[in-house]
Amino acid sequence: MSRICILGGGFGGLYTALRLSQLPWIGHPKPEIILVDQRDRFIFMPLLYELLTGELQAWEIAPTYVELLADTGIHFIQASVETIQLTDRRVQLSTGESLTYDRLVLAMGGETPMDLAPGVQDYALPFRTLEDAYQLESRLQRLENSDRDKIRVAIAGAGYSGIELACQLAERLGDRGRIRIVEMADRILRNSPPFNRQVAEKALSDRGVWVDLETTIASITADELTLSYKGQMDTLPVDIVLWTVGTRVAPVIRDLPLPKTDRGQVKISPTLQVSDHPEIFALGDLASGVDADGQFVPATAQAAFQQADYAGWNLWASLTHRPLLPFKYQHLGEMLTLGTDKAALAGLGLQLSGFPAHVARRMIYLFRMPTLEHQLKVGMSWITRPLVELLR
């Protein structure tokens, strides 16, 4: 029996595994499919921000792999990847288990670099996982229960993550909040559609969020933040610093002798295979390449979601002696939350803001959740929750 090892259970890895489980293996022995992730839950990252305002519950955006993979035939192992031995086709896990493979999928995503300025590692918080959200929640509750007049939060980075965090926190903290975004570029959301940028700028202004453009964080201490603007330094008091700048490939991937970009991403072909290693497929944040039309594929959840469909098919095709399909990326637009019941959406000829964008965003993400069973559970929760709150 062949074995497919999928390393990473995010949008790329989990959805690849689910796609594989749905394909027909008639006339060919069905391979053993193993999914490995260091956590026990899948995180629907685009909705992580709504935990901060209580709009969503953890189970809705972070179902367990055991729940999602029930009755699929996919074997889940909770472990970290220690080493990957390309010659022996072997993966060594933190549990001590050693897995051989016939096909390998690299989908471990990225990690937030926390060494870009003095003090970041010790005093700043990333916001990428459920554990990060819990840690921030704990810090917020302590500050909210204190007798201090103002709660000062600084956010490094004015990309989607930084903007969404700022809006959610501004709504949660209200008049007590002093939210500041620090961005080294000359505008927020610099790679985003102008419509989304304009709506986001208004949302930040309406919520009293400070935005320091062309500014970098020089250092962080337990209660101070030093900013650098055109050669001038300014030190400000701060209670929480959130770090949303950049993404970095995990060390176990950086150490592999595979063709890579300057950022350490694995170079892939349009079929999502690694050069000189056709048995290895890579997708998501750790991969870099162009699609069948020569279009650069961005490192986004949207791209990983689309790649997973092709990766599943091409893995199946490579084991059933069928032609592989070159990946074609479709940019479907961009969405972001801008506070409770508010969002911005630009794509597919649509431009929406406010509550209509919020509803559209929720529906789109609902149908992108990994299994029909989870979609139904979450959808029912979203429908009934307003009625339950109304009856209280």
Nearest Cα to Cα of residue 339 among 326, 353, 327, 349: 353
Amino acid identity for residue 127 in this structure: F
The 10s digit of each residue's pLDDT in 234-275 is 999 999 999 999 889 989 999 899 999 888 899 999 999 998
Of the pLDDT bands very low, low, confident and very high (cuts 50, 70, 90), residue 291 is confident
Q: Distance between CA 111 and CA 388 in Å, rounded?
A: 38
The 10s digit of each residue's pLDDT in 156-202 is 999 999 999 999 999 999 999 999 999 999 999 998 999 999 999 99
Domains, the chain: 3-38+79-111+248-319 (3.50.50.60), 126-243 (3.50.50.60), 334-391 (no CATH)
Of the pLDDT bands very low, low, confident and very high (cuts 50, 70, 90), residue 377 is very high
* pLDDT higher than threshold 80 for residue 387: no
Nearest Cα to Cα of residue 6 among 45, 32, 41: 32
Q: What is the pLDDT of residue 246?
A: 84
* pLDDT higher than threshold 80 for residue 386: no
* pLDDT higher than threshold 70 for residue 388: no
Instruction: Find the length of the chain.
Output: 392
Of the pLDDT bands very low, low, confident and very high (cuts 50, 70, 90), residue 391 is low
Nearest Cα to Cα of residue 189 among 311, 83, 309, 335: 335
Buried b (16+ CB within 10 A) or exposed e, 173-197: beeebbbbbbbbeeebbeebbebbb
Q: Distance between CA 52 and CA 166 in Å, rounded?
A: 11
| Helix 372-391 and helix 354-368, axial crossing angle in degrees, nearest 10 | 140
Least confident of 33-37, 176-180, 283-287: 283-287
Q: Distance between CA 53 and CA 342 in Å, rounded?
A: 12
Of the pLDDT bands very low, low, confident and very high (cuts 50, 70, 90), residue 215 is very high
Amino acid identity for residue 300 in this structure: T
Q: Which residues contact 310 (CB under 8 A, 6 or more apart)?
A: 271, 272, 325, 327
